[in-house]
Structure 1
Amino acid sequence: MSNPDWSRTSADYARHRQGFPPGLYDLLAHHALLRPGIDALDLGTGTGTLARGLAARGATVLGLDPAPGQVAAATRLAAAEGLAERARFSEGLAERTEQPDASFDLVVAGQAWHWFDRGLAAAEAMRVLRPGGALLICHFDWIPLPGNVAHATEFLIEAHNPRWRMGRGTGFYPAWATDLALAGFQDLGFGGFDYPAHYTREDWRGRIRASAGVGGAMEDAAVARFDTELAALLDERFGQDPLVVPHRVFAIWGWKR
């Protein structure tokens, strides 16, 4: 599956979508996946949220993304956060990074693995990793429980985009273990936790406008109509501000031995 066209939505994506919570980086450090001084490659980096998080904790990171708008946004954000020396970004594909053999200690994919040809991406990660390095795949998903704002938002997305098939998620991705095993990764590990993400009403609307089912799939006029209906839905059913949206962090990794 190819990446959606994020060129029209990168501003919303960067401004409104929350990155991984700090607990993810604590989990990675606990399992020796993250430590100061490592070289990391972030596949499908988007606006560089995960890459910048790793860089802020001492890693040197190259983020790759096929969308020029995403690369430009990631570069601007890294500079604004004082991370330009540790986090750089370039156009590139997960399946064909054009990076040297055995040049990274950690390869990561955050919120992106499902967009790749997973077998090719896993094999490419194996190629560019040094012995003792690891491939880490992680996701940070809202959890649509009956009656909550994520559940209601998914129904609205489906009403506007019947082809969207990414709803009703649980935040768990056990099939990715097979991707790692088939590529030769060993000593697979899993981790994760639930996290109550707080969104202002404006940020939740921006988050959804930037999602694959809305901004990544609809024309501008359709996105505007959707956003108007989402605003009305929030006013009618979810009066609190900020909204508390349950999320789940899921991480799986394997080592190159």
Structure 2
Amino acid sequence: MEIADRRIDGGKPFDWGRTSEDYAKYRDIYPPEFYRRILDRGLCRDGQRVLDLGTGTGVLPRNLYAYGARWTGVDISEEQIRQARLLSEDMDIRYLAASAEELDFPDRSFDVVTACQCFWYFDHGKLMPELCRLLEPGGRILILYMAWLPFEDRIAGESERLVLKYSPNWSGAKETMRPIRIPDVYKEKFELVYHEEFPLQVSFTRESWHGRMRACRGVGASLTEAEIALWEEEHRKLLEKIAPENFEIRHYGAVAELKKDRMDKKKVRPGRRKQYAD
């Protein structure tokens, strides 16, 4: 499904379905420490009902499946969902191709909603009320992100510059370690109860880093086949010049946890404090 959003890449169209096979092969790269931060929050485990928005190829549900949560993954791309199902054949994970803003689940169907590497794609004016409806009182939204640091890592920086040569308006570039931005609309029904940003080292070979870069939005999801071929030729030559066969890339991870109000703020009488049964 082709998407064009003026907030992203200057409105240049992209389609994750075009790179789903690469995504499945090269983007399951979060290190154990990334998942440990989630589990240490007491989330995505022990029978909790978890809805994973923008699930892609099901990276989050597949890697946390053993910890006992009951997972549902949704993604707007049918090709991504097809890959997720193939990779999860021995797991009891439900996958749906659907828009996050238009889900047809009953009220209070979930204890946790996750959004990994996708939160900026959504229409939050529509999504926030829907998530409030779908979550139990006191339920959590867990927003997750990981990015390489181009100003701190030479290989990442040089690879990024080559992507910008072919996709000059690509908005995935020039990352620095920072908190995840939460749109103001969430303040109506949710409270930010935790956030953390932390450095990570992620291991690659030349081939896996090349595949990871090809599977990004600025290359595989948006360039023509001819442009991808030219980018690939240049990128392989670049890596032969500056990268050993095995190396690590500096990244950072970020977590933001939102808690659904147990009471509707509009129903609280003036002068009275809300009482939470935590």
The match for 1:200 is: 205
The match for 2:187 is: 181
Kept after mapping to 2: 8 A contact 1:142/1:171: no
Query: Post-superposition shift, 1:180?
Result: 3.2
Counterpart of 1:31, as a letter, is: R
The match for 2:273 is: none
Q: Which whole-Å deviations, capped at 9, do the CAs of 1:43-76 have from their partners, x for residues lacking one?
A: 0100010121232221111100111110000001
Equivalent residue for 2:107, pick from 101, 104, 125: 101
Kept after mapping to 2: 8 A contact 1:118/1:179: yes
The match for 2:49 is: 39
Q: What secondary structure, in the 3-state scheme, does the structure 2 residue paired with 1:52 have?
A: helix
Distance 2:248 2:180 in 1: 27
Equivalent residue for 1:11, pick from 10, 21, 27: 21
The match for 1:225 is: 230
CA RMSD of aligned residues (A): 1.8
Distance 2:177 2:130 in 1: 25
Distance 1:187 1:204 in 2: 34
Counterpart of 1:18, as a letter, is: D
Kept after mapping to 2: 8 A contact 1:4/1:212: yes
1:117 aligns with 2:123: yes
Matched residues, number: 251
Q: Which whole-Å deviations, capped at 9, do the CAs of 1:154-198 have from their partners, x for residues lacking one?
A: 11111111121221011424421635324x112521124211101
Counterpart of 1:249, as a letter, is: G
User: Closer, same or farther in 2 for the Cα pair 1:154/1:59, shift >3 Å?
Assistant: same
Counterpart of 1:93, as a letter, is: S
The two structures have a TM-score, normalised by structure 2, of 0.85
Runs of 4 or more above 3 Å deviation:
1-4, 177-180
Distance 1:249 1:108 in 2: 15
Q: Which whole-Å deviations, capped at 9, do the CAs of 1:194-233 have from their partners, x for residues lacking one?
A: 1110111111111111100011110111111101100011
The match for 1:251 is: 255
Larger Rg over CA atoms: 2
Kept after mapping to 2: 8 A contact 1:19/1:50: no
Query: Post-superposition shift, 1:143?
Result: 1.1
User: Closer, same or farther in 2 for the Cα pair 1:4/1:44, shift >3 Å?
Assistant: farther
The unaligned stretches of length 5 or more in structure 2 are: 263-278
Task: Using the aligned pairs only, state the percent identity.
Answer: 34
Q: What secondary structure, in the 3-state scheme, does the structure 1 residue paired with 2:171 have?
A: coil
Q: Which whole-Å deviations, capped at 9, do the CAs of 1:87-136 have from their partners, x for residues lacking one?
A: 12111111111111110000000011111113322322111001121001
The unaligned stretches of length 5 or more in structure 1 are: none
Distance 2:66 2:82 in 1: 19
Distance 1:106 1:199 in 2: 32
Equivalent residue for 1:57, pick from 49, 60, 67: 67
Distance 1:34 1:142 in 2: 25
